[in-house]
């Protein structure tokens, strides 16, 4: 299998995962933090996994710049969720600087 074919297959799987799993869950998290709620441990693990996976596939975005706008928008979404989640934690637990 050629490198280009392998990349195409990997990108296809990533896009399917994004559409079917990651994006719907991220949008739910965005709604939750925008309501001022804190994220639970499962949701925090989800975000951690997303960031780890993004690091693992960064080479694909480097090789396929046509996906950079999508990657940038996703990074912005996850950054906004993380920032707002931290603000919510700090409001909920001010003396502890966030989580107890």
Between 1 and 38, the more confident residue is 38
Q: Where are the domains of the chain?
A: 22-90
Phi, psi of 35 (to 5 degrees): -80, -5
**Mean pLDDT score, 88-96:** 87
> What residues have CB less than 8 Å from 51, skipping those under 6 apart?
78
Phi, psi of 2 (to 5 degrees): -75, 160
What's the token pair of residue 39? 């994220």
Instruction: Provide the pLDDT for residue 94.
Output: 84
CA angle 62, 68, 72 (to 5 degrees): 120
pLDDT of residue 100 exceeding 70 = no
Instruction: Provide the pLDDT for residue 16.
Output: 97
CA angle 65, 45, 22 (to 5 degrees): 45
pLDDT band at 93 (very low <50, low <70, confident <90, very high): confident
Counting every residue written for the chain, the total comes to 100
> What residues have CB less than 8 Å from 80, skipping those under 6 apart?
30
Residue 98 Rama label (left phi>0; alpha psi -120 to 50; beta): left
For the stretch 58-69, pLDDT in tens is 999 899 999 999
For the stretch 26-58, pLDDT in tens is 999 999 999 999 999 999 999 999 999 999 999
pTM for this one? 0.85
């Amino acid at each position: 299998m050629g490198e280009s074919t392998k990349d195409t297959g990997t990108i296809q799987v990533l896009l399917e995962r994004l559409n079917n799993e990651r994006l719907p869950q991220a949008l739910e998290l965005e709604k939750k933090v925008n309501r001022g709620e804190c994220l639970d441990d499962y949701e925090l693990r989800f975000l951690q996994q997303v960031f780890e996976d993004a690091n693992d596939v960064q080479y694909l975005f480097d090789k396929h710049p046509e996906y950079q706008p999508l990657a940038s928008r996703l990074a912005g979404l996850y950054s906004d969720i993380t920032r707002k989640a931290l603000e919510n934690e700090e409001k909920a637990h001010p003396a502890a600087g966030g989580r107890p």
